[in-house]
Amino acid sequence: MKYPRFADKDFLGLNGVSRKQLIHPHFQEWYEWFLNEYEAPKNKIAVFLPCAAIKPYYNSPIHRIINSVLDEYSEGIHKIVISNAGVIPYEYCDKYPFDSYDWNPLAEDESIQKEYYRITKQRIEGYLSRHSYKTHISYLRNNSISFKALKDACKDLGIKLYYEKLNEKISPKKDTDLVLTYEENLKRLKKLLEGLL
């Protein structure tokens, strides 16, 4: 399948926490491709996940633990990552630039958080306006900007978003997405999936 490829890979320009990274032209080209060329799998449950520092995402210890639950339901779900790089169907997570960017949430200031929310919400709305799913599930931290953007985009589109209230207590020095590996949170995800499949 033809998908965006770049001779001039911009490994340095993809790394950082600024508007430049949010609207990087390589992310934008993929976003347009996802809207205009990509065909999402039919009759699946969309499961929205966070990005991870280790790329591709499936090599991340956090994603490995989440995937150990999701793999049981692989026939009925379609995994989609929400990040500063946009809305990324999981099957493309090992393609450039999604395998090569780095965004450190700890470096975000209030201004970039607002911009992240605005651009991410817009991208989610665009993607979900183009691709339809049987059901939509979030497995993002409830207090994350990505979750707020997803929740608000779904509300504006009249889409019901299913999610569980997660235990998000964690040491401030640790990766906040570690809460997604808590056994109690994974059980909530499993219960939610079983109720919707």
The 10s digit of each residue's pLDDT in 19-32 is: 999 999 999 999 99
Structural domain span for residue 141 = 19-196
Q: What is the CATH number of the domain that holds 35?
A: 3.40.50.10630
Question: Does any domain span residue 153?
Answer: yes
> Can you give the chain as a three-state secondary structure string?
CCCCCCCCCCCCCCECCCHHHHCCHHHHHHHHHHHHCCCCCCCCEEEEEECCCCCCHHHCHHHHHHHHHHHHHCCCEEEEEEECCEEEEHHHCCCCCCCCCECCHHHCCHHHHHHHHHHHHHHHHHHHHHCCCCEEEECCCCCCHHHHHHHHHHHHHCCCEECCCCCCCCCCCCCHHHHHHCHHHHHHHHHHHHHHC
Count of the separate structural domains present in the chain = 1
- Name the band, by pLDDT with cuts 50, 70 and 90, for residue 110: very high
pTM to 2 decimal places? 0.96
Name the band, by pLDDT with cuts 50, 70 and 90, for residue 106.
confident
Candidate from 93-102, 103-112, 150-159, 171-180 with smallest mean pLDDT: 171-180
In a domain, residue 128? The reply is yes
pLDDT at 168: 87
The per-residue pLDDT for range 85-97, each reduced to its tens digit, is 999 999 999 999 9
